[in-house]
Amino acid sequence: MIGPMRDGADDEPLEGDIGPAAPPAGEAGAARAADAGAGTGSAERGAAEELRRYEREREERRRRTNALAGRVAAVLAALLLAFLAYDSARTAVEARSRGDEWIYPPLVIALICTIALATLIARAVRRVK
């Protein structure tokens, strides 16, 4: 059972703790203020500049990752559209040879997929330039 708190008992380290107890909140703030007043302005500016540099590097990595993901998605979409256009055109040819309807379902789908593929390729070429 935990007994009543003694004055200053919170300064004692707990069992298994390593190192000194943390100073009370008022003392920690005073110690930081003393450190800041002791000519660490350039150190703070250096730390702030380092944080800005890390942020710029992180933003650049994010942009590169997003660009790569966009290229992969565009290639996969192009492959899918090419397959759909090929499959629909082949179906249209087979349907025509059998005398079935070949213009509306298969040929129209093939044309739509071909137009979408051409648009995707045109956008990709325009972005590269």
Measured between its terminal Cα atoms, the distance across the chain in Å is 75
Q: Where are the domains of the chain?
A: 72-129
Query: For position 112, what pLDDT does the model report?
Result: 97
Q: What is the pTM of this model?
A: 0.61
DSSP conformational letter for 104: I
Q: Tens place of pLDDT for every residue, the chain, 129 residues?
A: 455 555 555 566 666 666 655 555 555 555 555 555 555 678 889 999 999 999 999 999 999 999 999 999 999 999 999 999 999 999 999 999 999 998 999 999 999 999 999 999 999 999 888
Which residue from 82, 85, 93 is spatially nearest to 109, judged by alpha carbons?
85
